[in-house]
Amino acid sequence: MAMTNRKLGVLMFSPAIIYVLAVVGVPFVLAFVYAVGDVKIASVGYHYVGLANFRSVLESPTFRRSLYDSIIFTVGTQVVVLVGSTVLSLALKDRFTGRGFIRFLILLPWVAPVSLGTIGWKWILDSIYSVINWVLVHLHFVRPFDTPMWLGEPTLAMISVIGVESWRLLPFSTVILLAGLTAIPRDIPEAAAVDGAGFWRTLFQITIPMILPIVNVAILFGVIFVFTDMTVVYILTRGGPYDTTQVLPSLAFFTGILGSDLAEGAAISIFLVPILVAVAYFMLRVASRAEVG
């Protein structure tokens, strides 16, 4: 009896194990194998080359630029999302007519397919058809033939990809923060009000510290999400202009898949690992602390 139960258990559990091994484990191991070899797309044979790929990656200015961009992209997005979702969740916390509808609107970017949404943004930011520019021109902020090149100028391009990535991440973060805010008993801000605290003191000394564990979770999820994401960059700028919006995942893709240098692409993506491991470690720690608190 015990034995059959055990067998049944293994049987029921094995699809999950096989799935994880096949979809996560094999590519992961393969990435390491490629990174220390000399494989190219369509090449035959495999020669161990040690750390040569890593050395070449580290020496490449494009890689350094991408690492820098990745950090700017990730941190910038987190800042925008954090401020935005705090404001939004505070605004959506209390009951008012139409709250349900506005919550639905804010959730839309999350449920809409990434590519679809991002292609929409590509048009919004297009050098000729940009509605933003159209509005700016009609408000006489800029002259008709001297409009900002949203995706063509390094700083603006970075701002644009950060903006669109934030737009994607905002619903998720807002929902998490809303859950945190709703968990604060009504008495607490009321006690603060009676104690003499105004809006800002209540916000910074009561509300935000109380939802901090949840904010941390939102940040860590966000960091992992943004740091590994290449969709927005790929669709909007392809890393351009001159690799100024190139992030590590997109660089790995361009080098490894489009540039056929699988080995170097694998080496690039392996640079993501220690950073993500550190983030995941903190995430688990924060999550377990939030439970105890």
- Which residues contribute to the site for other proteins (CB under 8 A)? 185, 187-188, 190-198, 201, 205-206, 209-210, 212, 293
Q: Which is nearer to other proteins, 133 or 207 (CB)?
A: 207
| Least distance (Å) between residue 84 CB and other proteins | 24
What are phi and psi for residue 42, nearest 5 degrees?
A: 75, 5
CA angle 112, 225, 89 (to 5 degrees): 65
| Least distance (Å) between residue 192 CB and other proteins | 7
Report the distance separating Cα 116 and Cα 27, nearest Å. Answer: 28
CA angle 58, 240, 107 (to 5 degrees): 105
Going by C-beta distance under 8 Å and a sequence separation of 6 or more, which residues neighbour residue 174? 84, 85, 88, 89, 92, 106
Contact 165, 232 (CB under 8 A): yes
Amino acid in the structure at residue 161: V
Q: Which is nearer to other proteins, 127 or 205 (CB)?
A: 205
On the CB side of 91, CA atoms within 13 Å amount to 12
Cα separations in angstroms, 169 against 7, 79, 266: 43, 11, 27
| Least distance (Å) between residue 205 CB and other proteins | 8
Going by C-beta distance under 8 Å and a sequence separation of 6 or more, which residues neighbour residue 250? 66, 230, 233, 234, 238, 239
Report the distance separating Cα 262 and Cα 268, nearest Å. Answer: 10
Q: Which is nearer to other proteins, 61 or 196 (CB)?
A: 196
Q: Which is nearer to other proteins, 136 or 197 (CB)?
A: 197
- Location of structure tokens 């034995």: 3
| Least distance (Å) between residue 176 CB and other proteins | 18
Q: Which is nearer to other proteins, 144 or 209 (CB)?
A: 209
| Least distance (Å) between residue 184 CB and other proteins | 9
| Least distance (Å) between residue 93 CB and other proteins | 16
Q: Which is nearer to other proteins, 156 or 287 (CB)?
A: 287
